[in-house]
Structure 1
Amino acid sequence: MQSELDDLYAVVRGVTRIPADWQTVVDALIPALAGKVPAAPVVLRQVPAPARGGDDRSHVLHVEPDGSYSVVALISRPGQATSIHDHTTWCVVAVVAGVECEERFRLTDDGRALFPMETRNDPPGTVSGFAPPGDIHRVTNAGTSVGISLHIYGTDICRIGNSVRRTYDLPIVPPGKKTRS
């Protein structure tokens, strides 16, 4: 079945065909996708109509036949946030519409709290990514309209059921408080 996103899938396919470690794949995909983020209407046509105003779950758009990657759309309402979580594999995110705030964390040495590492507000067209370990984060729609982002995972998301490895319900160390590295 032909998709309006076939060109994007072809770019990802080309990068993921070259054997490489996860961070190398992420580092290659980010510039490869720059300037190729699809328009919001293109993505919205790929998700069920009731989800187009924001949804609590992601929508699988494509799984590569060999299971090497999956593309998922996240359609979020203003203020909607994910749990703090990490992933089972690498991930590259392309912001299609809205402003996506990503907060990254690391565990404190004793593993009992989270230390804030970075906060970014990504506008449409931004492509970013990460590879475990060190991918603890939370994503929030920081805009005033529906947010749309594409999440590309290095696995068959339908086979494993979810990209989240674990969620973190831990206190966050207040800014300025010292913690051991």
Structure 2
Amino acid sequence: MKKINVVGTSATGKSTFSRALATKLGLHYIELDNLFWLDDWQECPDEIFFARIEAEMVKAKNGYVIDGNYTRAIPVKWAEIDTVIWLDLPFPINLYRSIKRALSRAKSKQDLWPDSNNQESLWRMFGSDSIVWWMIKTHQKNRNKYIKMMSAPEFQHIQWIRLKTPKQVEHFLAQLDSYEYLV
């Protein structure tokens, strides 16, 4: 487990989990949102986005933890991947976390990622491109997508780890000190 992609619907805790995982395993952390979002909520063109992902992967001599979905980037981000960890939390937990996180971010006005000036706002939170609305629309769609991918022939070389509850997520991180997860 040296080249990992952590996936899951918005507000599952991918970033927090991925940072902790990268730290515990001594791997390079790659945050796809930071690579994708330009200032003022502009999206990065795919060719630049893919090149940024590849550059981060090349930097990671000992391996990496990629934080994020971005299905269109699968040919790049999964070229050498050995493990996908899917944080598949129940909808009510995701909804609660999504609202709580959006409110906290709107109140703090801090930039969401180091390489852009994007911030959450109450106006944005209740708009059509709200992260909360995005989570509501994509939760079941993401679940269906990853269930299909787990059994797809082209992804059988990947070790899939599906964590369905916050307790499973905590337990997984706690168990990383044991040898079984490092093999």
Please classify the TM superposition score into its range, dividing by the shorter chain length. under 0.3
TM-score (norm 2): 0.24
Structure with higher helix content: 2
Quick check: which one's strand share is greater?
A: 1
TM-score in terms of structure 1 length: 0.24
